[in-house]
Amino acid sequence: MALVLNVVRADRRKITNLVLTRAFNRIYNKECPFTTAGVNRFLPLLCRNVHSCTAVKSLYSTDPFSRRDFHSSHHLCDIVPFTLSDIGEGITEVSVKEWFVKVGDKVAQFDNICEVQSDKASVTITSRYDGVISKLYYAVDDTAKVGLPLVDIEVEGESSVSSSNVAEKTPSYDDGDNRENQVYHSSEKALATPAVRRIAGENKVDLSSVKGTGKGGRVMKEDILAYIAGNSTSKKSIPSARPPIITAPMIPSTASGDDRIVPITGYTKTMVKTMTAANSVPHFVYSDELDVGPLIQLRKQMKPAVEKHDIKLTYMPFFLKAISLALYHFPILNASVNSECTEVIYKSRHNIGFAMDTSNGLVVPNIKDVQSLRLLDIASETNRLIEAGKTGTLLPKDVTGGTFSLSNIGSIGGTYMKPVLLIPEVAIGALGKIQRLPRYGKSGAIEESHIMCVSWAADHRVIDGATVARFSNMFKELIENPIELVIH
């Protein structure tokens, strides 16, 4: 009876099937005397961990026909639904972009499960359990809801899952299956980041054949690029048996098939929301032109020295630094208003974003605390965000928290642009391309100048035209005398 009382008093969450089995069998075999009244007294407590009181009562019955042996099956593992947790910023759904596991794969804690794309950024989901993948709830490009299961994981218990069981759950591939899928699945065993896996998938490279130089044998970006470059060189060294066939470019037909319906997802979905919100805010545009000749000369002088630090120096860091210095004197442009437009929130941090054209659509990552960064620090962070945007590995923190934005449409083409506010920000700028145009110099003679047009859009509810004009004049002064940007 002491054994039964100890079992009852124990924490129910820590009582295993094995302990209950031994306790009930000892009652049943009369190894510890226990009256029927005693059974009825403690039965409700004991039965919280079994199916029914009736089943337990039958264990102690003296009737040989109603008495049944109590036993526990050999428990291998529990099925645990792995839910998609809240990733912040009010995101309620994501698009599954890539699976790093398949049914039957063993995973450990912090192993990559999949990569999802929200309307703000890409996020890699990692496992919280050790176990075996038993079910995938979504296919690639499906929409997953926050709070609902992504996968089912058989969490390993005292007995490990036998290799035969795993083999039964692992899908087999016939000779006629897609070879790209086989390469992808064999690459899952190698340690690599999602960006490296994407490069491997695009070039049909088996990551297990690439020697990793990172910690623990992790395949780094440099490893996969060197491997691809080596294969390309070897292929080029083999002479072609036939001359190349030159084909005429394909001209798309105006009636080549049925219309397609494509759902709006990812960054495009974000653009729908922000542009719809901007349409409800009255804003105006102010434009001017700058002589960027001195900036071109300064960048040309700095570029060799900066490249020694493995930093690519573009014009963007100069523009961002100039905006930050001007915002210091005109803080109303680095602010936001509440939803009722009754309060202005002045931002202490200059988190300046720049629009980026990516394969997934328009995205605006921002550099945090530009007011505290040197020009080279801004250049380094700009390079990081551009690379992350190209590979689709921008983090949520990279695209949230912006206070001012800049669009550099001139890098693609175009002289003028009317920028649209990125709500809740109250101002935004747009830069055109640099043109070589005739202008009157200081001596009065016509000279060749490098001219760039800039446009500013501002929320006219809280900002007037004169403020934007003065802000633009200060920005122009800094760009046309760029040495000030290096000093600060």
**Residues acting as catalytic residues:** 460, 464
3-class SS shares of the chain: helix, strand, coil, % to 5: 40, 20, 40
Neighbours of 89 (CB within 10 A): 14
* Cis amide bond preceding 424, omega within 30: yes
Which residue in the block uniquely carries the two structure tokens 């990552």?
A: 365
Torsion of CA 293, 406, 336, 322, to 10 degrees: -30
What SS3 class is residue 389? helix
- Dmax over CA atoms of the chain, in Å, equals 119
**Alpha-helical segments (H) within 173-220:** 179-187, 194-202
Question: How many whole angstroms from its chain centre is CA 49?
Answer: 42
The Cα–Cα gap between 31 and 25 comes to 9
The Cα–Cα gap between 68 and 350 comes to 74
Under 8 Å between Cβ of 1 and 32: yes
Retrieve residue 130's tokens: 């050790």
Radius of gyration of the CA atoms of the chain, in A: 33
The Cα–Cα gap between 360 and 142 comes to 16
Under 8 Å between Cβ of 93 and 143: yes
Q: Residue 348 burial (CB < 10 Å; 0-12/13-18/19+)? A: exposed
Long-range interactions of 190-195: CB distance < 8 A, separation 24+: 190/217, 190/219, 191/216, 191/217, 191/218, 191/219, 192/218, 192/219, 192/224, 193/218, 193/221, 193/393, 194/98, 194/100, 194/112, 194/115, 194/122, 194/124, 194/393, 195/221, 195/391, 195/392, 195/393
The Cα–Cα gap between 345 and 341 comes to 10
DSSP character string of 54-83: HHHHHHH-S-TTT----------EEEEEEE
